[in-house]
């Protein structure tokens, strides 16, 4: 709902926003476990087009489970 406007969320295909990494590739950038901390503190990327999101614990667990 919040992410797919920019990130590809399927097993194939480009991201709608080409510079946004497809979610299936996030584990190539860093271990997904490291993302949990970033997501709970409010993930801020180096790219200004991605708004700051702050996920609650249940959302983080769901997201990490989805990635792994």
What is the Cα–Cα distance from 66 to 1, expressed in whole angstroms? 14
Subset of 12-41 contacting ligand HEC (CB under 6 A): 17, 19-21, 26, 29, 35
Residue 6 binds to ligand HEC (criterion: CB under 6 A): yes
What is the Cα–Cα distance from 41 to 64, expressed in whole angstroms? 15
How buried is 43 (Cβ within 10 angstroms: 0-12 exposed, 13-18 middle, 19+ buried)?
middle
Residue 44 binds to ligand HEC (criterion: CB under 6 A): no
Residues that bind ligand HEC in the complex, under the rule CB under 6 A: 2-3, 5-7, 17, 19-21, 26, 29, 35, 43, 45-47, 49-50, 53, 63
């Amino acid at each position: 709902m919040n992410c797919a406007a920019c990130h590809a969320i399927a097993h194939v295909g480009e991201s709608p926003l080409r510079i946004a990494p497809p979610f299936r590739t996030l584990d190539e950038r860093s271990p997904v476990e490291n993302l949990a901390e970033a997501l709970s503190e409010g993930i801020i990327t180096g790219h200004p087009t991605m708004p700051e999101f702050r996920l609650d614990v249940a959302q983080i667990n769901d997201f990490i489970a989805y990635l792994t």
